Chains A and B, each alone.
Chain A
Amino acid sequence: MISTLGTVTLTTALVIALYAAAASVLGARTGRPALVASAENGVLTVFALVALAVALMEWALVGGDYSIAFVANNSSRATPLIYKITGLWGALEGSILLWLFMLGLFSVGVVLTYRRDPRPTTRALLPYATAVLMAVVSFFLLVTVVPANPFAPVPGGVVPPDGRGLNPLLQNPGMAGHPPMLYLGFTGFTVPFAFAMAALVTGRLDRDWIVATRKWTVAAWWCLSAGILLGGWWAYHVLGWGGIWAWDPVENASFLPWLTGTAFLHSVMIQERRGMLKVWNIVLIILTFTLTLFGTFLTRSGILASVHAFTTSDIGYYFLAAVAVTLVGALWLLAARGERLRSEATLDSMVSRESVFLMNNVFLVGSCFSVFLGTVFPLIAEALRGVKISVGAPFFNSVNVPIGVGLVVLMGVGPLIAWRRASLEQLRRHFLWPAVTGVVTAAVLFALGVRGGWALASFASAVFVAVVVGAEFVRVARARAVSAGEPFVKALAEVARRNRRRYGGLVVHLGIVCIVIGITASFGFQKSREVALARGEAVDFEGYRIEYTGLVHEQEPHRLVIGARLDVSRDGRSLGTYVPAKNFYEGRQEPTTTVAVRERPSHDLYLILGDVAPDGSHVTVRVLLNPLVMWIWFGGVILTLGTVLAVLPDRKPAHAVAPAALGRLGAVARGRPE
């Protein structure tokens, strides 16, 4: 019943989405606003239908309709309610449905925001942007209708009495938030892509399409960043191998569009300000959008082995075809418009904000290229030379660490260096002391015994950026405090409020600095040891004393939990009992791991349960000391605050002159009193 209803809903949505895409273009070409308006209503209808499909699927998941294969595979009676709900993105078909929902959300957002917009450029761009959005929606709907129908009935028609339950690794709060966030990021970049294509088609290639999509881009970027961070959080707390990032192909697939998206976010500022890099910006957004599709191809086609254990399916080919069509179509359009994309200015000096942004772009795209190469190189090697190879973390680190350090330095320089041409005097004023502080920090760390050239460079550059940004906030706030006679804190808030975009961006940079420090410390200075402990035996590790006191068994409805009680103390002072565990789910071969982590700003004590003797007489435990991991999560919070500051709608000043009064003033000024 739900199965049929769901399939019909998705098929109807596909038909309407195709109509909306066609009607939008036709209406704009032939100048029929009614047709365009009907296409816009089509967008709303498509979203309503997709939302209905999501509701139907949730109904089936929560209600336990095991006649649907997806439900039978990803839910069960014993699955806790929250994970019945999140079961929607527990596997491929439902994930595509969620993706569609997000894409629909953005499409509706775009239509509702701009349909009454009187500006001629927006009016000209919107129909084509709508058409592109609906074309992308149609593609995903096609995927759900043909190769990956979430409502497909169980094969053979024999309805199982109970489902198999959600993949245990996904039964975790981090997994509840990570995929939706990531999808919001991926789909969000469809909006600037759609407007870029609209700009190409209409030939309105000045800064308007960028201004129109600026906040959408920032929002998408934030969602993608948060999604990646939540993924790291999940890996750290659930996968239980002690780190947050392993350069796995699936992780890389989410990182690639983040890199080009970040480059885009920065380079559009040059186009806005100086009318340069027009072609480059369009190329970047095409790349970003294509990479979101490519990631799905990579992880879903089964061509790459990944720890994420995906099943192979035909949909890889659909995505590969979509990537090809997008690239060929968009680049052909770009080539056809080449003459209109001439730069309005040239680079004046190598020492200028433009040039710093350019370098930022080269670094980000270079990093993207290296990650891409490392990810697909095993495929190329096998195809060309017939050898099986793997490219491990050392490759990605050796390339991306130097690039990363370079990017951090630029993050401090970019926001303060002058446009066009910076003088030596300006450079000295803004950067001398922060640079000195950075170098001194590195020297102090070295004296304290911290080794590793890149790690020291990373810490130094992070401190450099923090001081530059901090000094900038103090400088502008103090200037305002003096001129407006306000207390310092109020002045700081006022300054930030008046130029949200700039100061929001600077706060985001502080968040990134925090994350960089956390990553450098936790990757470079992790300590680990694996020990066997008999009951009552203790081990000393980095100042901690860890004693194994016995096993804990807990039979939960859907799983059996076996944990080792570890009493942790430091200098004779008890720090409590930690219980790393293994969870045995019914019907699953491999148990999942629950790590026990003592999280503190200075370092985490991370405990993983290894082997357990059947009688509990002894266990093996891996103990890790991960420095500054909390800084990564804290950096994520700062990054979020900065983004919110940057995208919040500008509030009207409290004492603003009423628009009517402004109109009168204008009339007076033009010498035509009423």
Chain B
Amino acid sequence: MRGRRVKLLVGGVVILAALGYLVYGGMQSAVVYFVTPTELRAQGADAVGKALRLGGMVEAGSLTWDARTLALSFRLTDGTTTVPVVHTGTPPDLFAEGQGAVVEGRVTEDGTFQAQTIMAKHSEEYMPPRSGEMPAFQKGRYRPEPGTAQAAPPAPSDASGVAY
């Protein structure tokens, strides 16, 4: 009876320890810190190579994208500090200069942020169509102009998505 208890206890402890190790190890390697450009600069060389999320505004006049090579580059700013970001791929639909964006990736030695993913920050706010407004496509551009959308007043309430 006693021997069995001990065995059970040992078994339980081993399983819990393994679980704890899995969780701890996973946390160590998978936690991604969110920083602003200023915070990133303050970290200096310490930040190099760490997985980070960088959030800011896409600086006006900084965005270049080559539709052939898919090379994307722009600068993210928080008003005081600016960080150059490079990425390979198609920018997301709402990504544009003057808009907020969050990028996930790593900083290289030369201070450039190599982004693996780019998330355009946006709200799913309702913009009532103004009279005579054409769908974005017919205005000669597939991605709707954020500027025109922002000028419109937001709807009184918004509820998008389902519970879960």
Q: Which residue of B lies closest to A182 (CB)?
A: B164
Which A residues are in CB contact (< 8 Å) with B91? 611
A311-B33 in contact given A179-B164, A182-B164, A530-B70 (Cβ < 8 Å)? no
On whether the beta carbons of A390 and B162 are closer than 8 Å, the reply is no
Is B131 an interface residue, CB under 8 A from the partner?
A: no
As a 0/1 sequence over residues 285 to 319 of chain A, the CB contacts with chain B under 8 angstroms (1 = contact) are 00000000001100110000000111100000000
On whether the beta carbons of B23 and A390 are closer than 8 Å, the reply is no
Which B residues are in CB contact (< 8 Å) with A381? 31
As a 0/1 sequence over residues 70 to 88 of chain B, the CB contacts with chain A under 8 angstroms (1 = contact) are 1000000000000000001
> Could you tell me the distance in whole angstroms from the C-beta of A274 to the nearest C-beta in chain B?
15
> Could you tell me the distance in whole angstroms from the C-beta of A543 to the nearest C-beta in chain B?
23
A347-B4 in contact given A179-B162, A618-B67 (Cβ < 8 Å)? yes
Is A477 an interface residue, CB under 8 A from the partner?
A: no
Which A residues are in CB contact (< 8 Å) with B27? 377, 391, 395
Which A residues are in CB contact (< 8 Å) with B149? 589
A584-B135 in contact given A91-B162, A589-B149 (Cβ < 8 Å)? yes
A309-B137 in contact given A390-B34, A587-B129 (Cβ < 8 Å)? no
> Could you tell me the distance in whole angstroms from the C-beta of A234 to the nearest C-beta in chain B?
10
As a 0/1 sequence over residues 215 to 229 of chain A, the CB contacts with chain B under 8 angstroms (1 = contact) are 000000000000000
> Once bound together, how far apart are the Cα atoms of A92 and B162, in whole Å?
6
Binds B, one of A66-74, A195-203, A635-643: A66-74
> Once bound together, how far apart are the Cα atoms of A231 and B163, in whole Å?
12
Is A164 an interface residue, CB under 8 A from the partner?
A: yes
On whether the beta carbons of A73 and B70 are closer than 8 Å, the reply is no
With beta carbons under 8 angstroms apart, the residue of B23, B128, B142, B162 that contacts A373 is B23
Binds A, one of B56-64, B106-114, B150-158: B150-158
Is B98 an interface residue, CB under 8 A from the partner?
A: no
As a 0/1 sequence over residues 6 to 48 of chain B, the CB contacts with chain A under 8 angstroms (1 = contact) are 0110011001100100110111011111110000000000000
On whether the beta carbons of B22 and A398 are closer than 8 Å, the reply is yes
On whether the beta carbons of B163 and A179 are closer than 8 Å, the reply is yes
With beta carbons under 8 angstroms apart, the residue of B25, B30, B127 that contacts A589 is B127
Is A331 an interface residue, CB under 8 A from the partner?
A: no
A587-B33 in contact given A90-B162, A610-B90, A614-B140 (Cβ < 8 Å)? no
Q: Which of B127, B159, B161, B164 has the most CB of A within 10 A?
A: B164
Is A283 an interface residue, CB under 8 A from the partner?
A: no
A611-B34 in contact given A309-B160, A532-B70, A620-B70 (Cβ < 8 Å)? no
A530-B127 in contact given A156-B156, A299-B164, A584-B144 (Cβ < 8 Å)? no
Which B residues are in CB contact (< 8 Å) with A156? 156
With beta carbons under 8 angstroms apart, the residue of A254, A366, A394, A590 that contacts B30 is A394
With beta carbons under 8 angstroms apart, the residue of A73, A99, A362, A584 that contacts B163 is A99
On whether the beta carbons of A614 and B94 are closer than 8 Å, the reply is no
On whether the beta carbons of A590 and B33 are closer than 8 Å, the reply is no
Which A residues are in CB contact (< 8 Å) with B162? 89-92, 95, 170, 175, 179
Q: Which residue of B lies closest to A179 (CB)?
A: B162
On whether the beta carbons of A584 and B156 are closer than 8 Å, the reply is no
Q: Which of A175, A403, A532 has the most CB of B within 10 A?
A: A532
Which A residues are in CB contact (< 8 Å) with B35? 388
Q: Which of B1, B31, B68, B127 has the most CB of A within 10 A?
A: B31
Is A482 an interface residue, CB under 8 A from the partner?
A: no
A73-B94 in contact given A350-B11, A388-B34, A403-B22 (Cβ < 8 Å)? no
A347-B8 in contact given A586-B135, A613-B67 (Cβ < 8 Å)? yes
On whether the beta carbons of B94 and A370 are closer than 8 Å, the reply is no
Q: Which residue of A lies closest to B89 (CB)?
A: A530
Interface size on A, residues (CB 8 A): 83
Which B residues are in CB contact (< 8 Å) with A374? 26
> Could you tell me the distance in whole angstroms from the C-beta of B128 to the nearest C-beta in chain A?
6
> Once bound together, how far apart are the Cα atoms of A179 and B33, in whole Å?
33
> Could you tell me the distance in whole angstroms from the C-beta of B10 to the nearest C-beta in chain A?
10
Which B residues are in CB contact (< 8 Å) with A591? 93, 136, 142-144
Is B146 an interface residue, CB under 8 A from the partner?
A: yes
On whether the beta carbons of A92 and B163 are closer than 8 Å, the reply is yes
Within 8 A of B (CB), among A337-396: 346-350, 359, 362, 366, 369-370, 373-374, 377, 381, 387-396
> Could you tell me the distance in whole angstroms from the C-beta of A154 to the nearest C-beta in chain B?
7
Is A399 an interface residue, CB under 8 A from the partner?
A: yes
> Could you tell me the distance in whole angstroms from the C-beta of A257 to the nearest C-beta in chain B?
11
> Once bound together, how far apart are the Cα atoms of A369 and B23, in whole Å?
9
Which A residues are in CB contact (< 8 Å) with B53? 390
Is A582 an interface residue, CB under 8 A from the partner?
A: yes
Q: Which of A359, A591, A614 has the most CB of B within 10 A?
A: A591
Which B residues are in CB contact (< 8 Å) with A69? 156-157
- 22 CB contacts below 8 A, A to B, read A89-B162, A91-B160, A92-B159, A164-B155, A167-B160, A179-B164, A182-B164, A300-B163, A308-B161, A309-B161, A311-B160, A362-B16, A387-B33, A391-B27, A394-B29, A398-B26, A560-B135, A587-B127, A588-B126, A591-B136, A591-B144, A613-B67
Question: Which residues of A are at the interface with B, using a C-beta cutoff of 8 A?
Answer: 69-70, 73-74, 89-93, 95-96, 99, 154-156, 164, 167, 170, 175, 179, 182, 231, 250, 253-254, 295-296, 299-300, 308-311, 346-350, 359, 362, 366, 369-370, 373-374, 377, 381, 387-396, 398-399, 402-403, 530-532, 553, 560, 562, 582, 584, 586-591, 610-614, 618, 620, 622
